Amino acid sequence: MAKEALPVAAATLAAPPPLKREKPGPLEYMRRWPLQLMVGLTLVFLYLPLLTLMAFSFNDSRRNIVWQGFTFKYYEKALSNESLIEAFVNSLTIAFFCTIVSVVLGALAAVMLWRFRFPGKTAVEGTMALPIVVPEICLGVAMLVFFARVLPWPMGLPWPLNLGAITIAHISFAFPFVATVVRARLSSFNRELEEAAKDLGASEWRTFWDVLVPHMQPGLIAGALLAFTLSLDDFVITFFTSGPDTITFPVKVYSMLRFSVTPEVNAASTILIVVTVVLTAVGLHLQNQKPQENKA
């Protein structure tokens, strides 16, 4: 440090304690206007399109360009659009079954990787990472071919079995995500808890249920929410595996988009946004509620 700077530094050190509205510190970027502006602009960039989309779902105009008045009629139209409702129900059903199976498979995969040493473990770990990494279009294409040529899903099955192909495809790409989340949670597990249970007389199965699963629980919940959202929102993979009688909500909205852009599409989109946001809020709330069990 320069000789002249020393007295300055000393003076700063000896300065009286700062008043309430003091100047921001050197690293408190958020309190200085350049970055405040940056963050603000970014947030505007991110939210403006969404907010206007939601606002215009109430627009009383077919062409949906200029605001012409407030109305709920497009919501009524959307909610009475039978094929839209059917698509929504389909999406929920698929997401529901996908979540259940993904959580089970994901939890088992996580335990397998966390607990055991076995030949070929790196290969299995790598393969489990593939569905996360490979571009969705490749997965979609693979599923399309699989269900068309290798394992044709029978036609004309009653609901909900006809959604099987889509559900299977969703599970395949969702459960590795669940496995990652659960495995992260497992890494903080104190193995002595398992040993303690066994020492006190518990069998393998009881140890799993009484000690391991409670620890995994936050991970399982987070994984379940993740699987549900991934399934509900998915477009590309579903686009390739669905047929004319097994439409899901995003696919239906897509075709509405391609044909006519009325505020009905806005209404349907807004409904989907609200559902997703509510689910995320619930998930976050549940996660924050869990008392920290990292000790002992």
Partner 1 sequence: MEQSWKQAKAAFAAIAAPPVLWLLLFFLIPIAVIWAYTFGENVGPVTIDFTGTFANYARALEPLYLGIFGKSIVVAGLTTVLCLIIGFPVALAIAFASPKMKAWLLLLIMLPFWTNLLIRTFALIAVLREQGYVNFALEWLWNNASGFMTLIGLAPLGEYEPLTLLYNNTAVVIGLVYVHLPFMVLPLYSALDRMDRSLMEASLDLGAGHLRTIWAVVVPLAAPGIASGVLITFIPALGAYLTPDLLGGTDSQMIANVIERQFKRANDWPFGAALSFLLMYLTFIAIAAQAFVQRKAERRG
Partner 2 sequence: MTDVSPVHTQAEKLAAAIKPNPIIIFEGVTKRFGKTIAVDNVSLQIQEGEFFALLGPSGCGKTTLLRMLAGFETPTEGRILIDGKDVAALPPNKRPVNMVFQSYAVFPHMKVADNVAYGLKMDGVAAAEIKTRVAEALELVKLGGLGDRMPDQLSGGQRQRVALARALVKRPRVLLLDEPLSALDAKLRDQMRSELTSLQEKVGITFIMVTHDQDEALAIATRCAVMNRGVLTQVATPADLYEFPNSRFVADFVGSVNMFEGVLEKDEQNEAIVRCNELSAPVYLDHGVTGARGATVWVALRPEKIEMHKRTGEAPKMEDAPAGTNVVAGVIRDIVYLGSETNFEIELEGGRRVKTFRSNLTRYDQEDFTWDEPVWLAWHACSPAVLLS
169/142 Cα distance (integer angstroms): 10
- Does residue 286 interact with partner 1 by CB under 8 A? no
Name all contacts of 155-162 with Cβ < 8 Å and 24+ positions apart: 160/93, 160/97, 162/245, 162/246
210/202 Cα distance (integer angstroms): 9
Q: Binders of partner 2 among 204-233, rule CB under 8 A? A: 206, 210-211, 214-215
- Does residue 153 interact with partner 1 by CB under 8 A? no
- Does residue 187 interact with partner 2 by CB under 8 A? no
Q: Which does 240 bind (CB under 5 to 8 A by kind): partner 1, partner 2, none?
A: partner 1
Record the tokens describing residue 126, joined without a space: 């790598």
3-state secondary structure of 138: helix
- Give the contact letters, 168-187, x = binds to partner 1 (CB under 8 A), - = no: xx-xx--x---x--------
Q: How far is the CB of 238 from partner 2 (least distance, A)?
A: 38
Our CB check for partner 2 shows the closer of 190 and 280 to be 190
144/166 Cα distance (integer angstroms): 10
Q: Rule CB under 8 A: choose which of 197, 226, 232, 247 binds partner 2.
A: 197
Record the tokens describing residue 13, joined without a space: 């050190």
Sign of the dihedral through C-alpha 197, 124, 167, 218: positive
- Give the contact letters, 73-112, x = binds to partner 1 (CB under 8 A), - = no: -------------------------------xxx-xx-xx
- Give the contact letters, 144-183, x = binds to partner 2 (CB under 8 A), - = no: ----------------------------------------
Q: How far is the CB of 125 from partner 1 (least distance, A)?
A: 11
Q: How far is the CB of 294 from partner 2 (least distance, A)?
A: 8
Q: Rule CB under 8 A: choose which of 280, 282, 290, 293 binds partner 1.
A: 280
Our CB check for partner 2 shows the closer of 285 and 295 to be 295
Q: Rule CB under 8 A: choose which of 193, 272, 273, 275 binds partner 2.
A: 193
Contact 247, 237 (CB under 8 A): no
Q: Which does 202 bind (CB under 5 to 8 A by kind): partner 1, partner 2, none?
A: partner 2
Q: Binders of partner 2 among 19-58, rule CB under 8 A? A: none
What DSSP character marks residue 246?
S
Q: Which residues contact 186 (CB under 8 A, 6 or more apart)?
A: 110, 111, 114, 215, 216, 219
HSE-CB of 134 using CA atoms within 13 angstroms? 18
Residue 229: other Cβ atoms inside 10 A: 19
252/263 Cα distance (integer angstroms): 15
Q: Rule CB under 8 A: choose which of 17, 199, 244, 288 binds partner 2.
A: 199
22/18 Cα distance (integer angstroms): 6
93/205 Cα distance (integer angstroms): 31
- Interface positions with partner 2 (CB under 8 A): 190, 192-193, 195-203, 206, 210-211, 214-215, 291-293, 295-296
